[in-house]
Structure formats: structure tokens, C-alpha cells
Structure 1
Amino acid sequence: MHAFFDSESCYISILMRKKLGTIIAINKVYNVITFKEMKKKWQKKQLC
């Protein structure tokens, strides 16, 4: 029973890590897009 529980929690932690990795990847992409948008707006402000 204990060994089963250990493998279960290990499996869950692997799932969580994968989920976290996905979240971080999405966050990075989102940050890059936001940064590019901000840069465009900033450049437009500079031109005026």
C-alpha cells in the first residue's frame, strides 16, 4: 500500500511539473508578445 502511494505521489509530481513547464512556456510567449506590443506603442509615441 505504501509503495503504491509513493509511486502515485511521484506520478502526480511529474504531472504537476509538466503542467508547470507548460504554464511557464505559455507565460514566456505571452510576455514576448506583450513586450513587442509595448515596443510598438512606445516607438509610435517617440515618433510624435
Structure 2
Amino acid sequence: MTVNEKAGCFLSDQAQVCFYPSWCKSCGNCVAFCPRQALGADRWGHPFM
């Protein structure tokens, strides 16, 4: 899988998790529905890994 340089990516032994900060609306959906629970949100709703 190729990854866009603007994507925030995390590599582990089991999976690759990516999100695109430029697409973020700080809605929290990515954090709520992340199947691996790899994302969290800061106090402003921006996701982080």
C-alpha cells in the first residue's frame, strides 16, 4: 500500500493505520469507529495516534 506523504501513519507488526489531517473536521468519527482503537482525540477533537 502506498501512503500519501500528507497522511499521518502508524506502522505496527499487525496493521497500518492512516488518517489525513487535511480532511479532518474534528468530528470524532474516526476515533469512535476505529476498529483497532489506535486513534485518540485531543481536547479540540483533533485525532492523534
TM-score, normalization: structure 2? 0.22
Look at both structures and tell me which one has the larger radius of gyration over its CA atoms.
1
Q: Which has the higher contact order (CA 8 A, sep 6+)?
A: 2
Report the structure, 1 or 2, having the larger strand content.
Answer: 2
Report the structure, 1 or 2, having the larger helix content.
Answer: 1
TM-score, normalization: structure 1? 0.22
